[in-house]
Structure 1
Amino acid sequence: MEPHESTCRICGGRVREFFDFGRQPLSDFFPSPDQVDEEFFFRLAVGMCDACTMVQLLEEVPRDRMFRHDYPYHSSGSQRMREHFADTARSLLAGELSGEDPFCVEIGSNDGVMLDVVRQAGVRHLGVEPSGGVAELSRAKGIQVRTAFFEEATAREIADEHGPADVIYAANTICHIPYLDSVFRGVDALLAKNGVFVFEDPYLGDIVARNTFDQIYDEHFYLFTARSVQTAARRFGFELVDVERLPVHGGEVRYTIARSGARRPTARVGELLAEEALGGLGDRGTLEKFGIRIRRVCDDLIARLRELHDRGFYVVGYGATAKSATVINYARIGPELMPFVHDTTPAKVGCLLPGSHIPIRSADELGPPYPDYAVLFAWNHFEEIRVREKEFTDRGGRWILYVPEFRVV
């Protein structure tokens, strides 16, 4: 099949496909056995804009289908991430939120893990969260939350009610939003004159270098680089003034955006732009080579699972993650090769993985008799999981990983 093209959502340039994962389900809809007919499927293909180099999906999934009232992801579900967001909040409180009567707005505040620290410091705040279930969890902690999608109209209403924001923050959210034009216009309406828009998302440079291809799924509409973020910001009267590499989720970058002329960019911006240019991150050939590695890893994974099945070994999965949908459905892994996936999220237990319909069991059920192997889909929490499931390995169990390449540990 010939690669497809689309129009860039940022600059209107030509977006040319470099990889097609085929027919994929919503990654965060875990159906119960009687909901399998309700699944929504789309073509998961990814391309790069010839003009601004923004990497993006070619097909947009309606936001109301992804971010429903019962959205199952909880930001506080990992100890490591709880510590990360607490550190982030403390850093903001010591810096940008240390002035007189500061105001912090978080886009996609989820269950309030970051804003709770801001609340405890007595700082004015507001979470903007479209998924009602996790928004209610925030409110139960005393956090101020508006159940809505962040866009220009929402931002203007917030500014009218609360005044300008010193910090607009988002984590693993901005890459979800195809309509970045409305987001930036909203930031323009809400941000204080010398305020900052700070967001952190999966970094294309790390995704390519570490072959973490399963970071490409329906919710991740954009895969950012410093260059593409800088270009997008300038189109809306802003400037990229700082970047920070983060070790979470397989590698992210925290971008700090300010109004044009308000702040001088740090040296780190120029350094990361130079690194991207040297590594060919804006070159189509680099991404095509990345696609070759994706195919090889998935071929290796499915071949090994079939071999283990034929030899009578018992293999399960661990981590009913959103990104597991990409690899499982692309590699066509089904219950015949992996009868269960274990997960620590109570709301997912008893449901099925999207598309493949592999049943989800509680992680507490991973016990004697232990399986021979477990495919780790939550690879970004490997160290935390390895400690939790120490008895599995002590009893001879082995982990199968596929990032950055197929291996057994």
Structure 2
Amino acid sequence: MTAQARGRCRICGGGVEEVLDLGRQPLSDAFRRPDDTGPEFFHRLAAGRCRACTMVQLTSEVPRERMFHQGYPYRSSGSAVMREHFARTALGYAETELAGRDAPFFVEIGCNDGALLRTMAGAGVRHLGFEPSGGVAAVARGHGVNVSTDFFEEATAAAVRESHGPADVIYAANTICHLPYMESVLRGVAALLAPDGVFAFEDPYLGDILQKTSFDQIYDEHFFLFCARSVRSMAERFGFELVGVERLPVHGGEVRYTLAKAGARRPAAAVRRLLDWEDEQGVADPEALAAFASAVADIRSDLIDLLRMLRAAGKSVAGYGATAKSATVTNYCGIGPDLVSYVCDTTPAKQDRVTPGAHIPVRSPEFFAENRPDYALLFAWNHADEILAKEREFREAGGKWITYVPEVRVL
């Protein structure tokens, strides 16, 4: 089974030129039971650049129901850093955009387990989260969050406007880049958003991905790789204006983009600064993307060489963090249980299963503590500070960390 290929840009309809081929890949969050011998869904993972609007995007689309469903395992609250980030974000909106309004209404697209909306609920703010993955939606409801299990699109957004009134803020974290059907999404935002409201979303930033060679930010769920230039073009096409940008350190480097209806707000100076920086750096230019693809191939060679050398020397290697990103790395590089014996992860829904495609066993942190390898391959590199602090004893006992962003090295 394969995904649906697209030769045209999902934003403007322009031609898309392929810039990176990461090969045959599984669903990045499909953690199977070890005894599951049923067919496994694979697709070709490749990224391309629109010649017209410069939007970088996948060249094939995986059906959304295959990725976001009842058993979707990711939990936004799994990281202390992200819990703090979402609490600060919620309080920030409560103190600015929502302050002084009569019965303000806050909507989140892709609220997951309610990591952010718990704060809104606790503050008594009218809110609604869209979360089609039923399992995590149930967790959010258990924390007092109002959740709809519909996908956010034009029809569902219009229905919410009819029943709840306009939204003062529509927000999304690590979600908008997941949605290939952007026309319906932005028409939904236009239908639901108050005239003076804002639509803010934060997603992995193409500028950081290129600088760090973090190719594992590319996987089935990350359909778009945004930069300020492409987001501005997208916004204008649907009657919005890019009025704010903020670079964020979370998840390996993101940008929070703020859109408003055209003419409703004056763009912040930070927008022009980031656009100028992108022009200087050549972000989304064909030359930068070609250099990135070459660097990715080098990382694959270096990582495989290192793991094979360690195996030949009788050293044990385990992975740390059964992330969606790690599926890209293991399958692109051909890393299986022969090179990485298991992967440690804190998510109960992933433990005692095997990683997508590569079928490496996933174990608990307790297993890691009792079966310490000589080396740990840090798949969750975007949480490095948090993980290295938590696993200090591993390093003190002689364990070594391997990372591959921005290059392969032993820490």
The two structures have a TM-score, normalised by structure 2, of 0.98
How far off is 1:5 after superposition?
7.7
2:102 is matched with: 100
Q: Distance in 2 between matches of 1:406 and 1:210?
A: 12
Instruction: Give the Cα–Cα distance (whole angstroms) in 2 for the partners of residues 89 and 204 of structure 1.
Output: 25
- C-alpha distance in 2 between matches for 1:109 and 1:38: 30
Q: Which residue of 1 aligns with 2:190?
A: 188
Q: What letter is aligned with 2:297?
A: R
Structure 2 counterparts to residues 120-199 of structure 1, below 5 A: 120-199=122-201
Q: Which runs of 4+ in 1 moved over 3 A?
A: none
Cα displacement string for residues 283-318 of structure 1 (whole angstroms, at most 9, x for unaligned residues): 111101000000101110011100100110011111
Per the alignment, residue 271 of structure 2 pairs with: 269
Deviation digits for residues 141-187 of structure 1 (CA, Å, limit 9, x no counterpart): 11110011000000011000000000000000000000000000000
Note the C-alpha offset of 1:262.
0.2
1:308 corresponds to which of 284, 307, 310: 310
Residue range with higher mean Cα deviation, 29-38 or 170-179: 29-38
Instruction: Measure the CA separation in 1 of the matches of 2:216 and 2:36.
Output: 25
- Cα distance in 2 for partners of 1:272, 1:36 equals 49
Matches of 1:36 and 1:252, distance apart in 2? 38
In the alignment of these two chains, the number of paired residues is 406
Q: Give the one of 232, 237, 240 matched to 1:238.
A: 240
Any conservation in 2 of the 1:319–1:342 contact (CA below 8 Å)? yes
In structure 2, what is the Cα distance between the partners aligned to 1:215 and 1:147? 26
The Cα offsets for residues 333-373 of structure 1, whole Å up to 9 and x where unpaired, read as 01111111111111111100000001111111112452110
Indicate conservation of the 8 Å contact 1:67/1:130, yes or no: yes
What letter is aligned with 1:341? V
The answer to whether 1:371 aligns with 2:373 is: yes
Q: Aligned partners of 2:31, 2:372: CA distance in 1, in Å?
A: 25
SS at match of 1:346: coil
Partners of 1:85 and 1:5 in 2: how far apart?
Answer: 34
User: Which stretch of the first structure deviates more once superposed, 35-44 or 298-307?
Assistant: 35-44
2:20 is paired with a residue whose SS is strand
Correspondence for 2:350: 348
Q: Is the contact made by 2:31 and 2:353 (CA closer than 8 Å) also made in structure 1? A: yes
Percent of pairs with identical residues: 61
**Aligned AA for 1:128?**
F
Contact 1:5 1:14 in 2 (8 A): no
TM-score by length of 1: 0.98
In structure 2, what is the equivalent of residue 251 of structure 1?
253
Q: Is the 8 A contact 2:199 2:258 kept in 1?
A: yes
Deviation of 1:37 after TM superposition, in Å, equals 2.2
CA displacement at 1:383 relative to structure 2:
1.1
State the shift of 1:229 in Å. 0.4
Say whether the 8 Å CA contact 1:111–1:134 is kept in structure 2.
yes
Partner of 2:18: 17
CA–CA distance in 2 between the matches of 1:391 and 1:379?
A: 18
Q: Distance in 1 between matches of 2:188 and 2:18?
A: 30
After TM superposition, give the deviation of residue 389 of structure 1 in Å. Answer: 1.1
Counterpart of 2:406, as a letter, is: P
Which residue of structure 2 lines up, in the alignment, with residue 119 of structure 1? 121
Q: Residue by residue, what CA displacement relative to the aligned partner does 1:266-289 show, whole Å, maximum 9, x if unpaired? A: 100000000001101131111010
Which letter does structure 2 place at the counterpart of 1:164? Answer: P
Compared CA separation, residues 285 and 176, structure 1 to 2 (3 A): same
Q: Quote the residue 2:52 is aligned against.
A: 51
Once residues 153 and 183 of structure 1 are traced to their aligned partners in structure 2, the CA distance between those partners, rounded to angstroms, is 9
Matches for 1:311-330 after TM superposition, within 5 Å: 311-330=313-332
Identify the residue that residue 363 of structure 2 maps to in structure 1. 361
Q: What is the rounded CA distance, in whole Å, between the counterparts of 2:83 and 2:301 in structure 1?
A: 35
